[in-house]
Amino acid sequence: MTGEFTEAQTARFLRTLRVTTQTALAQYQMSGGRTVSRPTVAFMALAAKGPGDWRFPASGLTSADGLVLVKLDRETAGAAILEFQAQGVVGLSLYANHAARATLAGGRTAHGSFDRDGRMRIVLDDATIEEIDLASFELELLDDAP
């Protein structure tokens, strides 16, 4: 490539590459492309590691696409319960009445179903699960409604 293109042409190419790919991606995802290709959304806490023990935030975690809020509830027996709530009209239309699978740290999975109000509770029976294990996990919509 040496000598073939000027610095200005190279800068124009890099600019074009940057603008066109990202604009096309934004449009693709805006039109629901993500949902078609990969119905999975991630939940991730912002500061899972720190000097002290990490606690699941009382205000909950919002999914990366902003469409689901999840809170952690602890039963007296000690079982952890994840309470999901789809957010807004878009969240409801996507999640209500659909089955879903949460994939936690270490590949452990748990299943549940969103009700017609976009609410889902998943009881985690595994006593070894700690709050730090819930700092990052994925939720995948399964194809068929229950």
Partner 1 sequence: MSPGPAMKSGRDVVAYFAGYLANLVNGNDSLSETEENVALKPFSLYEKVHRALIGNRKYSEVLVGVWSYPPPNTTEDAADFYFDHVIDRPIGSRGEGPSSADNLASLVASHAVGSVPPRPQLPLSIWKALVGGPTTLRRFAERKDLFELSNRILKCLDAANRPYAEVLRLGLCPKEWLVGDNAVGVNTLKGANAFLKALKGEMKGDFGRRPNPAELGAAFATSPVPGFKDIKAFTTTLLGSAILTRLAGQDETFLSSFEAVEATISDQIDTETDEPLLDAEEAAPFLEIAVSAGAIEVEEKRLLVAIMAGRSLAEVMGSNLYLRRRLKLHFDNDLEAYISDLSTRTAKFVSAAGRARP
Torsion of CA 122, 127, 129, 130, to 10 degrees: 110
Is 65 an interacting residue with respect to partner 1 (CB under 8 A)? yes
Label residues 57-70 b or e (16+ Cβ within 10 Å = b): eeebbebeeebbbb
CB of 80 to partner 1, least distance (A): 20
Pairing verdict, β 99-103 and 68-74? unpaired
Is the distance from CB of 70 to CB of 59 less than 8 angstroms? no
Q: How far is CA 84 from the centre of its chain?
A: 12
Rounded Cα gap, residues 113 and 123, in angstroms: 12
Is 93 an interacting residue with respect to partner 1 (CB under 8 A)? no
State which amino acid sits at residue 75.
E
Residues in binding contact with partner 1, number by CB under 8 A: 52
**Judged by CB under 8 A, which stretch of 64-72, 77-85, 93-101, 104-112 contacts partner 1?**
64-72
Closer residue to partner 1 in complex, CB, 15/121: 15
Of positions 35, 55, 56, 66, contacts partner 1 by CB under 8 A: 66
Is 89 an interacting residue with respect to partner 1 (CB under 8 A)? no
Is 79 an interacting residue with respect to partner 1 (CB under 8 A)? no
Is the distance from CB of 71 to CB of 83 less than 8 angstroms? yes
By CB under 8 A, the residues from 32 to 61 that bind partner 1 are 33-34, 36-38, 42, 44-51
CB of 78 to partner 1, least distance (A): 26
Binding residues for partner 1, per CB under 8 A? 1-5, 7-8, 10-31, 33-34, 36-38, 42, 44-51, 62-67, 87, 135-136
